[in-house]
Amino acid sequence: MTTVKEAIEAMIRERNVETGRVSGLSRQIIAQMNTLQTGILVNFESLPGINSSGEAHLNLYLQAGAREALRAALRSGIAQQPSLRMTINSAFRTVAQQHILYRVYQRDPKLIPLAAKPGNSNHEDGLAIDVNNYNAWKTYLLANGWQWLGGNDPVHFFNTNGRDDISTLGVKAFQSLWNRYNPTDRMTVDGNFGDQTAAKMDRCPIRGFSVVSVFRLGDNGAVVTRIQQHLTNVGFSVPINGVFDDKTKAAVIKFQLKQGLAADGDVGPMTLKLLGIRL
C-alpha cells in the first residue's frame, strides 16, 4: 500500500507527475459519484472515432449532454475525413488527481506551473476534454456546441449543454467514500475541499480503499521501509530505501517460502504478521 502523500513525495523526487498512480482510488471516486447522483458520468471510450491510449490517468467520462455533443462532433469530422481519429490527452479528472496537481503546484511550481484547487476545474465536472490533435478537430467541435478559450490552452474544449452543476459532487463522493472505510475517523460530507479533507486525502491508499492492506512491487513509503528493515533483520538483507523494488520482492518470496506461505512476493496481512509488523 502506498498513500497519496507518499506517491506525491515520489513524484516530486523523481520530477515526474503521474496522476495515473491514483487510478484505483479514482475509479472508486467515479463509482461513488455515480452512486450519489445516478448515472451523472458516462463513459465515452466506445464512441466511434475516439483513439484511447489506455493510459492510467485517463478517465474517459463526461456528463451525458457533453458526450452527445462529442458524438456529433466525431460524426461530422469522420464524415469529412473518414480516417480522422481524436486523441484525448485528458478528460474527467477526479478530486484525487486534482489534489496531486495542486499539492505539487504548491510545493514545486517549476514542476506544475498552474493548478486549480480541487473542486474548481471543469475537468472535474465532466464537461471538458483536452484534445491532442486539436487543429484537426477544432472546426467540428466548435460546430457542435463545444467552446474553446484560445491559444493559451489550445487543447482544452468544454461543453455546458444541458449540464448538471456537480461542482461539489466529486468532493462529496470522496468524503463519503472515506467515511465508509474509516468509520471511527469520519468527516463532514459538505463538498468543501478544506484542510481537513486534504489531509485525509493524503492518507488514502492510491489503489483505493480495501479491507486489507497489501504492499507489492512498485509501492513506496514508510511501511515499505519497515518491511525492508524487518526482512534484513531476519536474514533476508535488502537495501532499505522505502521502494518496493525487485530486490525487495525477491527477498519477500524467500521469506514466504521459508515460512510456508504462498510465495507471491506480495506482503499481505499474513506476511506482515510473520515479519512482526503491525500497521
Binding site for Zn ion (CB under 5 A): 130, 156
Cβ neighbours for 40, distance < 8 A, ≥ 6 positions apart: 33, 34, 63, 126, 164, 166, 169
> Which CB atom, from 60 or from 227, has the smaller least distance to Zn ion?
60
> For 148-211, what is the HEC assignment?
ECCCCCCCEEECCCCCCCCCCHHHHHHHHHHHHHCCCCCCCCCCCCCHHHHHHHHCCECCCCCC
3-state secondary structure of 203: coil
CA distance 47 to 152: 28
3-state secondary structure of 215: strand
> Which CB atom, from 9 or from 130, has the smaller least distance to Zn ion?
130
- Residues 74, 37, 129: CA angle, nearest 5 degrees: 30
Q: Measured at CB, which residue is nearest to Zn ion?
A: 156
Least distance to Zn ion from the beta carbon of 92, Å? 11
Least distance to Zn ion from the beta carbon of 78, Å? 23
- Residue 180 neighbours by CB distance under 10 Å: 11
> Which CB atom, from 59 or from 228, has the smaller least distance to Zn ion?
59
Reading the block at residue 91, the C-alpha cell is 478528460
Least distance to Zn ion from the beta carbon of 90, Å? 6
Owner of C-alpha cell 483513439: 51
Least distance to Zn ion from the beta carbon of 44, Å? 15
Least distance to Zn ion from the beta carbon of 50, Å? 16
> Which CB atom, from 24 or from 145, has the smaller least distance to Zn ion?
145
> Which CB atom, from 148 or from 209, has the smaller least distance to Zn ion?
148
CA distance 136 to 146: 14
Reading the block at residue 232, the C-alpha cell is 534484513
3-state secondary structure of 84: coil
> Which CB atom, from 125 or from 219, has the smaller least distance to Zn ion?
125
Least distance to Zn ion from the beta carbon of 146, Å? 12
β-partners of residue 3 are: 205
> Which CB atom, from 69 or from 275, has the smaller least distance to Zn ion?
69
Least distance to Zn ion from the beta carbon of 102, Å? 15
Owner of C-alpha cell 458520468: 41
